[in-house]
Amino acid sequence: MVDPKRAVNIAVRKVQPVQGINYLKKAEQHLALALQALAQGRWDSAVLLSVHAGISGADAVCVGTAGLRSASKVHSDQAKLVRQLLPNDESAKKASTQLAALIDRKNTVEYEARTCTQQDAEVATRHAERIVGWARAILGRNPGG
């Protein structure tokens, strides 16, 4: 799965692989609240929580499989790290693409005056659900388990 000798060109921090499950728990919490926000019509909150769910889900996989976590100040490097650690994994490619799409929304929702729409929230939560589901599958964990 992950080649431990594979060089990565992104700033990383070493983390004990057993901590991957804690990042997954965070991802699940963010996702649960994103889905609540979506149901309550709180589009901006749903998008931002989805972004954090996606980032934590990717952290869970990177930590759980390679003992590495992005230390870059550039959030888009997280998606690159997933692709570098799992270069031949089709599900990782899909997850990194979905994560990149979520991260693209981060600045808009956090720093711009424009508010998110229902469609923005629906797309973001779907991406987050897929990423968290992928992380669960990689780490062998059932939802809420």
Using 70 as the pLDDT threshold, list the residues of the chain that sit under it: 1-7, 141-145
Q: Where are the domains of the chain?
A: 12-139
Architecture of domain 12-139: Up-down Bundle (1.20)
65 half-sphere exposure, CB direction, 13 A CA radius: 26
Express each pLDDT in 9-38 by its tens digit. Answer: 889 999 999 999 999 999 999 999 999 999
| Contact by Cβ (8 Å): 34, 129 | no
What is the pTM for the complete model shown?
0.91
* Residue 53 one-letter amino acid: A
